[in-house]
Structure 1
């Protein structure tokens, strides 16, 4: 897996995400996160006040959708996190966001 990936939102903005080794964010900072499959498709996009919570749906993502990597992006501002989340979900239509 690549150390960094860039995702383009519906607005045209590009967001850079960093690989969380072993699918462990290792931080309690707020941010956005995505689950990716082996082909690089975004399966789920989320935002949280504590990135440790980014693993909440990880087991489901692995078993049902073949998730192979978790990427995070630190983003302390709640408004910015929500805007980025909406932008990415609109552009990428992740399968797990449809049934969330």
Structure 2
């Protein structure tokens, strides 16, 4: 498997993990406290996976992922993830 394929496969697995975590969080919370977007979730498992997705090392993978998302919720989430990823990259300490 080449590096591009591995990168996209890793991103796909993270998004699948996020979907499962969101489903679990929704099934255990009441309707009023349920977050519809992962970046608004109070569930720690959702937040942990969101942090993995938005890690600065995933910027290229998120750019590619966004290009492959047609529209709707998937594209909205990918845009938000890429935005947060870039913010995290800009806020991390510089080495050297």
Using the size of structure 2 for normalisation, the TM-score is 0.28
Which structure has the larger Rg over C-alpha atoms?
A: 2
Pick the structure with more strand per residue. 1
More relative contact order, 1 or 2 (CA 8 Å, 6+ apart):
1
